[in-house]
């Protein structure tokens, strides 16, 4: 899911020059690296809350991006 969300954010950032969209894509990259680290250690019990927090942020950012793109299309 995180990969699909990040792909969406990167595509949205490519279409728009808005800082918020580019920042969302950056957060997505960090989330992917966190997920990769968890898969490497295979120890989800000791995983920090940071990847979970970032995943929640990703969902919020994705919703904001979708709303922003929707408003932009409506204004055009």
pLDDT in tens, 37-58: 777 776 666 666 767 777 787 7
Look at residue 43 in the predicted model and tell me its pLDDT.
Answer: 65
Residue with tokens 């969902």: 59
- 35 closest CA partner among 22, 19, 21, 53: 53
Could you read off the pLDDT of 7-28 as tens digits, one per residue? 777 887 788 777 877 877 777 7
Q: What is the pLDDT of residue 70?
A: 82
Q: What pLDDT does 65 receive?
A: 78
pLDDT exceeds cutoff 80 at 67: yes
The mean pLDDT of 2-11, rounded to a whole number, is 74
Measure the CA–CA gap between 52 and 12, rounded to whole angstroms: 23
Residue 54, pLDDT score: 73
Report d(CA 45, CA 75) in Å as an integer. 47
Cα of first residue to Cα of last residue in the chain, in angstroms, is 31
């Amino acid at each position: 899911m995180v990969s699909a969300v990040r792909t969406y954010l990167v595509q949205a950032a490519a279409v728009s020059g808005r800082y918020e969209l580019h920042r969302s894509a950056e957060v997505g990259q960090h989330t992917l690296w966190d997920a990769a680290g968890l898969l490497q250690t295979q120890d989800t019990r000791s995983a920090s809350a940071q990847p979970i927090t970032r995943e929640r942020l990703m969902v919020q950012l994705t919703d904001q991006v979708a709303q922003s793109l929707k408003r932009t299309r409506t204004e055009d």
